[in-house]
């Protein structure tokens, strides 16, 4: 009888230990998932476009952009212009909006003007100063299950273009949205974080 009760006690003790371990694992996975979610949100805020991220303090923005030859148009918009082949110009525009409800970065690059309107080669690569941000935005929007990739219109990235959502806003979650259409001839990238 003692042997049977001793076996029963060991069995109960073993079951208690297993149950405790399962509870600890569930809590650990839950904490890890919450931490990863926070890392993803921080990843959006850390993506730099033209040296500016959502984490960049407002007082540092003008100094950073002016060091990159941007000229202030007003308190939120900065532009710069560079010569491009065939008598054209490349126009860069950076806008940082910070309101009580959201913070948003908007970046665009377009080629304009010139007498010779011959198209640029379609296999030219996205400029190196844009490719990192474009790849990070693509990864943020498209590192999801295939069904969501389809909903977000994640086109396979190529050296000459990276596009998500047909160049329209794509909601990542209730607080984060991105717009991404990068190519050799023009780029539009936007990041919005709703507070």
Residues 180 and 88 in one domain: yes
Domain of 28?
1-37
Residue 4 within a domain: yes
Question: What is residue 160's DSSP assignment?
Answer: T
**Percentage with pLDDT > 70 across the chain:** 74
3-state helix, strand, coil in the chain (%, to 5): 40, 30, 30
Residue 42 within a domain: no
Closest CA to 79 of 65, 59, 67: 65
pLDDT, tens only, 60-92: 999 999 999 999 999 999 999 999 888 889 999
Looking at residue 148, what is its pLDDT? 95
95: which strand partners?
77, 106
Q: How far apart are alpha carbons 173 and 166 in whole angstroms?
A: 18
36 — pLDDT class (breaks 50, 70, 90): very low
Q: Check: CB of residue 110 under 8 Å from CB of residue 186.
A: yes
Residues 107 and 162 in one domain: yes
> H helices of the chain, where?
2-46, 58-67, 128-142, 146-151
Q: How far apart are alpha carbons 26 and 9 in whole angstroms?
A: 26
Residue 71, number of CB atoms within 10 A of its CB: 11
Residue 69 within a domain: yes
Looking at residue 86, what is its pLDDT? 80
Residues 111 and 139 in one domain: yes
Residues 67 and 28 in one domain: no
Q: Is the pLDDT of residue 48 over 80?
A: yes
Residues 126 and 175 in one domain: yes
Looking at residue 165, what is its pLDDT? 96
Higher pLDDT, 19 or 125: 125
Residues 98 and 53 in one domain: yes
Q: How far apart are alpha carbons 91 and 107 in whole angstroms?
A: 11
Mean pLDDT value across residues 158-167: 94
Q: Is the pLDDT of residue 101 over 80?
A: yes
pLDDT, tens only, 11-30: 555 444 434 444 333 333 33
Total H helices, total E strands in the chain: 4, 8
Higher pLDDT, 4 or 53: 53
Residue 132, number of CB atoms within 10 A of its CB: 13
Closest CA to 190 of 98, 110, 94: 94
Mean pLDDT value across residues 139-150: 95
């Amino acid at each position: 009888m003692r042997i049977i009760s001793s076996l029963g006690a060991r069995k109960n003790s073993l079951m208690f230990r297993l149950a405790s371990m399962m509870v600890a694992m569930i809590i650990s996975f839950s904490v890890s998932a919450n931490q990863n979610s926070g890392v993803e949100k921080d990843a959006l805020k850390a993506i730099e476009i033209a040296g500016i991220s959502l984490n960049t303090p407002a007082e540092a923005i003008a100094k950073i952009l002016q060091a990159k030859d941007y000229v202030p148009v007003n308190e939120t918009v900065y532009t710069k212009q560079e010569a491009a082949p065939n008598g054209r110009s490349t126009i860069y525009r950076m806008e940082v909006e910070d309101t009580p409800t959201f913070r948003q970065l908007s970046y665009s690059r377009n080629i304009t003007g010139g007498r010779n309107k011959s198209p640029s080669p379609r296999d030219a690569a996205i400029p190196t100063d844009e490719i990192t941000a474009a790849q990070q935005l693509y990864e943020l929007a498209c590192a999801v299950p295939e069904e969501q990739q389809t909903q977000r219109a994640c086109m396979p990235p190529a050296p000459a273009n990276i596009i998500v959502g047909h160049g329209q806003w794509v909601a990542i979650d209730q607080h984060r949205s991105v717009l991404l259409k990068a190519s050799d001839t023009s780029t539009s990238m936007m990041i919005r974080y709703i507070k």
